[in-house]
Amino acid sequence: MNSPQPQQQPAAETGSLASRYRRIRRQTEKLVEPLAPEDTVIQSMPDVSPSKWHLAHTSWLFERFVLGPKLPDYKEFHPRFHYLFNSYYYTAGDMHPRPERGLLSRPTLAEILTYRHHVDSHLLELIDKQRDDDQLTFLIELGLNHEQQHQELILTDIKHVLSRNPLKPAYRAMKLEQCTAPPAISYLQIPSGIVETGAAGTGFRFDNETPRHTELLHGGGLANRLITNAEFREFIDDKGYRTPELWLSDGWATVEQQQWGHPLYWSADLETEFTLHGEQALDPNRPVCHVSLYEADAFARWAGARLPREAEWESISAGVVVAGNLGSDNADQAMHPASCSGSGMQQMFGDAWEWTASAYAPYPGFKPLQGTLGEYNGKFMCNQQVLRGGSCVTPADHIRASYRNFFYPDSRWQFSGIRLARDETA
């Protein structure tokens, strides 16, 4: 296996890297504390992974790609964990089938937590001993950003798991208060001409955010906020789900096959929705969430608009402070999209991932990481769509303007929403 090379990643000061490592690893474990051990085993559909699998897989990545190569005398925690907790790194070896992760009653949650602490003790010792190793710093930063992705997935996946339970249990019981009405939709001018896009500077970035390059924009407007539940309800009431001319061909086939009539987690009577805080009254002022690319595109067409292209989105978001309704370790904060207020661009970061009209494809000159870690992003650049901006469960220090998320167009279990764009601002 070739060693992956750092991409403009500076060496971090030893203490800060160790502190960041401890904080992020601890936050992952805090996310499963509200759960019973039985909750952490369930896989409610093939796209969902059990919570305890996330706990183990994030540790496996550090063990496989950091401890193994960097500590010649390191002894792996368990000889079969490599098979159980490899995700999709085929060049690293065989793996347990993804749709069967929910069949793994063993190892237990307690054993997996012991595994995590074993990895942590060796990683922290390694950071202390090899403090000037830039490649080590890069690998650990990659592992921590990977872990933050799985923190979001833990919440996304457990929401689906709990939603399938007839008792409709809450991940964290809380009553969501009704939000105030957001400002009216308006459109901010999208620049026209050649712009630079992609990751800039020297901070961490995934390889799919590079290289920085130029794009030609044709102007138009980007909506000032996300689409609300009330606005999406108008689409439903106007028989949007029964009007084939609004839909992409694959989208209409999916609607017909799956019998979609509303966003995932909405009740059949359109009065309530399932949240991480249990079943709640559907708030008309909150952003619509858990819609597929197909639904987002159909709504945009119905509204006389379109979805933004990712370069358009990034050209505007690059000038916006990364702040908003993002993930937090504050137990009193709701893990659900919220309304907005004020003028200017709202909700660019947080609340809900925003579908774009851009296919997930390599940037001009893209080069994946060397070796097995080159499988991280590049091999998925086919048949998927880009989302931007993060959601209410995305860690606040994980998202940035150049961040590219990607999912298949029929995916709905992610916290995904809608921002409109159009070719004219008036």
Average pLDDT over residues 183-206: 94
By C-alpha distance, which of 122, 107, 91, 313 is closest to 222?
A: 313
| Cβ–Cβ < 8 Å for 317, 390 | no
Q: Specify the pLDDT at position 13.
A: 40
20-70: pLDDT as tens digits:
999 999 999 999 999 999 999 999 999 999 999 999 999 999 999 999 999
Whether the ω angle into residue 211 lies within 30 degrees of 0, i.e. cis, is yes
Which residues, including other chains, have CB under 8 Å from residue 381's CB and lie 6 or more apart? 208, 360, 361, 362
For the stretch 327-378, pLDDT in tens is 988 888 999 999 999 889 999 999 999 999 999 999 999 999 989 999 999 9
Query: Do the domains at 14-163 and 187-422 have one common CATH topology?
Result: no
CATH of 14-163, one of 2.40.160, 1.10.3470, 1.20.120, 3.30.2320: 1.20.120
For the beta sheet containing 353-359, the strands, ordered from the edge strand earlier in sequence to the opposite edge, are 405-407, 385-388, 353-359, 416-417
What's 95's DSSP letter? -
Q: Alpha-carbon distance 394 to 27, whole Å?
A: 13
Q: What topology does CATH give the domain 187-422?
A: paralog of FGE (formylglycine-generating enzyme) (3.90.1580)
Q: Which helix (H) or strand (E) holds 422?
A: strand 421-422
Using alpha carbons, list the distances in angstroms from residue 367 to 5, 212, 376: 11, 12, 12
Rounded to whole angstroms, the Cα distance separating 387 from 29 reads 27
Tokens of 219: 């102007």
Asked if 268 and 211 touch (Cβ cutoff 8 Å), the reply is: no
Taking the C-alpha atoms of residue 420 and residue 93, their distance in angstroms, rounded to an integer, is 43
Report the Cα 204 to chain-centroid distance in Å: 17
Per-residue pLDDT at 425: 64
Q: State mean pLDDT over 220-224.
A: 97
Q: What is the pLDDT of residue 353?
A: 98
* Residue type at 262 in one-letter notation: H
β-pairing, 416-417 vs 353-359, is parallel
pLDDT tier at 15 (50, 70, 90 boundaries)? low
Q: Where are the domains of the chain?
A: 14-163, 187-422
Residue 407, classed as helix, strand or coil, is strand
